[in-house]
Amino acid sequence: TMTSNTVKADENRSKRRKEMENEASESPQLSSLERPDLALSESLQSLYKPEALEKVLNDMNKEINNLLSKYAHILSERAAMDASYVEELEGILKEARIIENHLKQKRESLRHRFTVIANTLQS
pLDDT digits (tens, 9 = 90+) for 19-39: 665 555 555 554 445 555 666
pLDDT digits (tens, 9 = 90+) for 80-106: 999 999 999 999 999 999 999 999 999
Nearest 10 degrees: Cα torsion 68, 72, 75, 77:
-130
Cα 75 vs. chain centroid, distance in angstroms?
14
Q: Where are the alpha helices (DSSP H) in the chain?
A: 2-26, 28-47, 50-122
| Type of residue found at 108 | E
Contact 52, 46 (CB under 8 A): yes
Task: Categorize the per-residue pLDDT at 5 as very low, low, confident or very high, splitting at 50, 70 and 90.
Answer: low
- Averaged pLDDT of the chain: 80
pLDDT at 90: 96
Task: Categorize the per-residue pLDDT at 65 as very low, low, confident or very high, splitting at 50, 70 and 90.
Answer: very high
DSSP state of 1: -
What predicted TM-score, i.e. pTM, was given to this entire model? 0.40
Residues 82 and 57: their CA atoms lie apart, in Å, by 37
How much is the CA Rg of the chain, to the nearest whole Å?
A: 44
Neighbours of 14 (CB within 10 A): 10
Residues 14 and 79: their CA atoms lie apart, in Å, by 73
